[in-house]
Amino acid sequence: MEKEIKIRINYNFKDFILPFKIDTILALKTTLILKLISVSYRIFRSLLRLTLYIEF
């Protein structure tokens, strides 16, 4: 089963939309990976903020 995905990228206050067709299972895996990345990034950022807060 194929599904069309639109990826929205905000760069320099401009929106870029990339549409492409993708396999559903692959799409699920990709979204899971992206969610993991974003969560770890958020944790990493908060940790950075904490270390910076402690340093100053």
Q: Are 27 and 3 in contact (CB under 8 A)?
A: yes
Q: Is the pTM of this model over 0.85?
A: no
SS (H, E, C) the chain: CEEEEEEEEEECCEEEEEEEEEEHHHHHHHHHHHHHHHHHHHHHHHHHHHHHHHHC
**Segment 26-38, tens digit of pLDDT:** 778 888 888 888 8
**Segment 2-52, tens digit of pLDDT:** 666 666 777 777 777 777 676 777 778 888 888 888 888 888 877 777 766
User: If you search the block for the tokens 């908060």, which residue do you land on?
Assistant: 46
Q: Are 22 and 34 in contact (CB under 8 A)?
A: no
Please state the domain extents for the chain. 2-55
- What number of residues does the chain have? 56
